[in-house]
């Protein structure tokens, strides 16, 4: 079954939210789908939207997605492609689709003059780590920090 990589369309949003639910469960993370379809519509399709979503479609069925945006690096004094999410349903794995998604992001970056990429994955996701290792990245160990809404408000008011 041939797989097509294409930009997400508005009619993909409900399926994209379902994929996000599956992705969050796979990464052992809580995910509340309430309001996400509308929020993703704004983030992907409003004028000036910075987030880009690619979907992998096999025989008319969306089997995975990747999202990315162009970000800035102070130390490099340059832009880079930040791949935020990449998820494939189990039946779509080990078929080269993940590589197709990453290749498409790299091609988009180069077309925009952006020559670097960054992404992250949980260390316990050994299948993803193996997949990404085959792409040849340099690994940098870091902690990922996160403040939720309440913590952000507390910090802002301190």
Q: Give the pLDDT confidence of 119-130 residue by residue, as tens digits.
A: 999 989 898 889
DSSP string, 45-78: HSTT---EEEEEEETTEEEEEEEEEEEEETTTTE
Edge-first strand order for the sheet with 3-7 is 3-7, 52-58, 61-73, 78-88, 117-118
Per-residue b or e along 35-45, where b marks 16 or more CB atoms closer than 10 Å to that residue's CB: ebbeebeebbe
Domain containing residue 13: 3-157
As a whole number of angstroms, the distance between CA 101 and CA 116 comes to 16
Q: How many domains does the chain have?
A: 1
- pTM of the predicted structure, to 2 decimals: 0.91
Instruction: Output the pLDDT for position 79.
Output: 97
Instruction: Output the pLDDT for position 146.
Output: 84
Instruction: Output the pLDDT for position 104.
Output: 98
Instruction: Output the pLDDT for position 6.
Output: 98
Instruction: Output the pLDDT for position 34.
Output: 96
- Written as tens digits, the pLDDT of the chain (158 aa) is 689 999 999 999 999 999 999 999 999 999 999 999 999 999 999 999 999 999 999 999 999 999 999 999 999 999 999 999 999 999 999 999 999 999 999 999 999 999 999 999 998 989 888 989 899 898 888 778 888 899 999 999 99
- What is the domain-level CATH number for residue 128? 3.40.630.30
Which residues, in sequence order, are bridge partners of residue 86? 66
């Amino acid at each position: 079954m041939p797989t097509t990589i294409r930009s997400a369309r508005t009619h993909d949003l409900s399926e994209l939210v379902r994929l996000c639910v599956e992705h969050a469960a796979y990464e052992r993370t809580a995910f509340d789908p309430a309001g996400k379809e509308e929020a993703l519509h704004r983030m992907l399709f409003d004028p000036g939207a910075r987030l880009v979503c690619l979907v992998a479609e096999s025989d008319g069925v969306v089997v995975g997605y990747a999202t990315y945006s162009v970000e800035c690096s102070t130390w490099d004094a340059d832009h880079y492609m930040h791949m935020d999410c990449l998820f494939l349903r189990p039946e779509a794995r080990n078929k080269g689709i993940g590589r197709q998604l990453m290749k498409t992001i790299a091609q988009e970056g180069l077309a925009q003059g952006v020559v670097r990429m960054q992404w992250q994955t949980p260390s316990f996701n050994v299948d993803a780590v193996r997949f990404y290792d085959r792409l040849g990245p340099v690994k940098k160990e870091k902690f990922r920090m996160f403040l939720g809404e309440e913590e952000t408000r507390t910090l802002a008011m301190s």
